[in-house]
Amino acid sequence: MSETETAKNQEELFDKEKLKEIIGLDIDSLPLEPKEHRSAGIIGTAGHVDHGKSTLTQALTGKFPATYSEELIRGITIKLGYSHLDILLCPDSGFPEAFTSNARAKCPTKERPRHLRCYSILDHPGHEILISTMLSGASITDYALVVIAANEPCPMPQTREHVAALEVMGVKNIIVAQNKIELVSKERAFENYKEILNFFENETSFGTPIIIPVSAALGINIDILLAAIYKKFTPLEKKLNADPIMYVARTFDPNLPGTKPEKLIGGAFGGALKQGTLKVGEEIEIRPGIIDKKGNAQPILSEIASIQTDGGHPLEEAQPHALIGIATFLDPGLTKADKLAGSVIGEPGRLPEIVRSIYIRDLHMFPRIIGAKINMENAPLKKNERILINVGTNINFGLVQDVDDDSANIILAKPISIQKGEIVAISRLIEREFRLVGYGSLDY
């Protein structure tokens, strides 16, 4: 449980000096620019649909993460979105004006902003029908930015479900962005603030979170939110000496329509390293690889042609805690439209085995359905029940073969290659939508 100080009234909620006190950051003691421009970790957005996750991502980074035509038409995030955040400091400015980002790399004075730290941002969809996509992204998330709109009661259904997903996937550090404060009175904003505190303190394992009131649309308090991110989301230790394993969240054909044959490049993979390193020129294996109609898997071998950060910067070596894109020499037809999403990448012969049957240990089923619009009890798993499984970035259907109080045997629709011990998230069909209902630990 965290011991974060809170605002006691609406005046304190909007007092920048009080927010500075809550964050507890001394800008005079901040270090010099880091030697390496590498992501300190992956920040995942979370929250109910239309609470402003993508708009806040744009306010922080300058990039709107929803780029697909269907997303732009419908005004919601459907696929996982990538953005890159550079936190910058204006050395001779006071708090909070000293904090800015790559969305606006300028200082109030003529001084040059100094680079403090950078992060990858993974923008998750908030719609209830896309919980499996959110779980897939949460599996490679290090920290979470929970976005809660001030103009709606808290918690909304997918706020509950997303926060539960973060808990299940082992995300420990969060910040709450109380968004859309421009749409409500100060009195209502403080009432919403108390609702947020009550939800986290009484219904979650996070305790009292840092809550920053913001307006993503108008850019209000973005500087304070940047300071909170810098303070709370500290760099994580990297397991560089272990066998590399990259969890693949996206795969695509990087070639634009009409590209001439001689200028075509190979298929691309997006995701994050869980451990180890990958270098340009190294041979790699993709598992489970191509899966035929009978469910047989054929691993794929290729070579890394290039590596890019989420910000588009080339890398010679990829490390954990960063979103990366890897270009290969594979036929781009193999990777288009996320055909190989849910795979893992590593050294040939060093990846986890390919399995079709899994054993879930330490099975825990929630007592009630989280995220449903009405209060519903959650029944235990049943033999021959068809469920949806998330493990790593792999989304799979499964059939329950055997089950008892704390374990279950599951036959998967498609084979997987995932490390033992990873969290398995379980969803079941509730009123025509899949809802997160339980979790356990992967074995086979």
Q: How far is CA 89 from CA 98, 224, 272, 319, in A?
A: 5, 12, 27, 25
pLDDT in the model for residue 66: 57
Backbone angles phi, psi at 257, to 5 degrees: -55, 135
Domain extents for the chain?
2-232, 245-346, 355-443
Which of the listed CATH numbers 2.60.120.10, 2.40.30.10, 3.40.190.10, 3.30.70.20 matches domain 245-346? 2.40.30.10
Contact indicator for 336, 417 with CB cutoff of 8 Å? no
Instruction: Identify the pLDDT of residue 74.
Output: 37
State phi, psi for 187 to the nearest 5 degrees: -65, -45
- pTM comes to 0.92
Decide if 121 contacts 65 (C-beta within 8 A).
Answer: yes
- Say which residues have a Cβ less than 8 Å from residue 372's Cβ, sequence separation at least 6: 157, 430, 431, 435
What pLDDT is stored for residue 306 in this prediction?
A: 96
* 364 contacts 431 by C-beta, under 8 angstroms: no
What's the one-letter identity of residue 93?
A: S
Q: Name the CATH topology of 355-443.
A: Elongation Factor Tu (Ef-tu); domain 3 (2.40.30)
Q: What is the pLDDT along the chain (444 residues), one digit of tens a residue?
A: 456 889 999 999 999 888 888 898 888 788 877 777 789 999 999 999 889 999 999 999 999 875 443 433 334 444 688 899 999 999 888 888 899 999 999 998 888 999 999 999 998 774 555 678 888 888 999 999 999 999 999 999 889 999 999 999 999 999 999 999 999 999 999 999 999 999 999 999 999 999 999 999 999 999 999 999 999 999 999 999 999 999 999 999 999 888 998 888 999 999 999 999 999 999 999 999 999 988 999 999 999 999 999 888 899 999 999 999 999 999 999 999 999 999 999 999 999 999 999 999 999 999 999 877 778 999 999 999 999 999 999 999 999 999 999 999 999 999 999 999 999 999 998 878 888 999 999 999
Angstrom CA distances, 136 to 4, 121, 250, 371, stand at: 29, 14, 10, 17
What pLDDT does residue 328 have? Answer: 97
Closest by CA to 189, choosing from 381, 389, 370, 13, is: 13
Q: What is the pLDDT of residues 192-249, one digit of tens each?
A: 999 999 999 999 999 999 999 999 999 999 999 999 999 999 999 999 999 999 999 9
Asked if domains 2-232 and 245-346 share a fold, the reply is: no
Q: Which CATH superfamily is domain 2-232 in?
A: P-loop containing nucleotide triphosphate hydrolases (3.40.50.300)
Token code pair at residue 86: 């550079």
Per-residue pLDDT tens over the stretch 285-305 = 999 999 998 899 999 999 999
- Name residue, tokens 């598992």: 287
**pLDDT, position 75:** 43
Question: What is the distance between the alpha carbons of residues 265 and 353, in angstroms, rounded to a whole number?
Answer: 30
